[in-house]
Structures are given as structure tokens and as C-alpha cells.
Amino acid sequence: MKSYYIRDTFYNIISVHDFPVTLGKDWSTTYPSYKAKLDLRIWDKLLSSKKILFIRWFATYEQAVELQAILSDILKANE
């Protein structure tokens, strides 16, 4: 089984999940539906889980602090 790494240049995120690739079609044709499905899964877990572990690679200290503040606000809003 092949692994496909797709970089979302807007958010600078690399996706390595069950990314659908169709022979003969450009990868970008299936990306919008893939991203929408992934976003729904993430929000569902974020809103329904008691504990969540976030892992961030290659962040500066400032980026890590900003991410923690954003996630903290989201989690507090859903308590």
C-alpha cells in the first residue's frame, strides 16, 4: 500500500491520512471532499471527547503559545 503525503499550503499542513488518490485524476480533485470529511471528524472528536492529545511538530515557541490559547478557548466553550 502506498502512502501519499499531501501538503495544504494554505494551512501549511501535511496530510498522511486515508487520502484518496484516483488513477488518471489530479490529486486536487478529491482533496476538497477529503478535507471536509476530515474536518468533521476532528470537530466531532474535539466536541465529544473528555481528553484530547494534540501533537505539533516544528512550531516556534510563539506558535505553540498561540495554538494553546486557541485550543483552550475552544475547549472552554464546550465544557
Going residue by residue through the chain (79 aa), what tens digit of pLDDT does each one get?
Answer: 455 677 888 878 777 766 667 788 877 787 788 889 888 988 888 778 877 787 777 888 998 899 889 888 877 765 6
Q: What total number of domains does the chain contain?
A: 1
35 found inside a domain: yes
Residue 48: Cβ-neighbour burial (10 angstroms; 0-12, 13-18, 19+) = exposed
17 found inside a domain: yes
d(C-alpha 38, C-alpha 45), whole Å: 11
Domain that includes residue 43, residue range: 6-77
1 found inside a domain: no
Answer yes or no: pTM beyond 0.75. no
d(C-alpha 57, C-alpha 32), whole Å: 24
Query: Residues of the chain with pLDDT > 90: what percent?
Result: 8
46 found inside a domain: yes
67 found inside a domain: yes
d(C-alpha 78, C-alpha 53), whole Å: 16
43 found inside a domain: yes
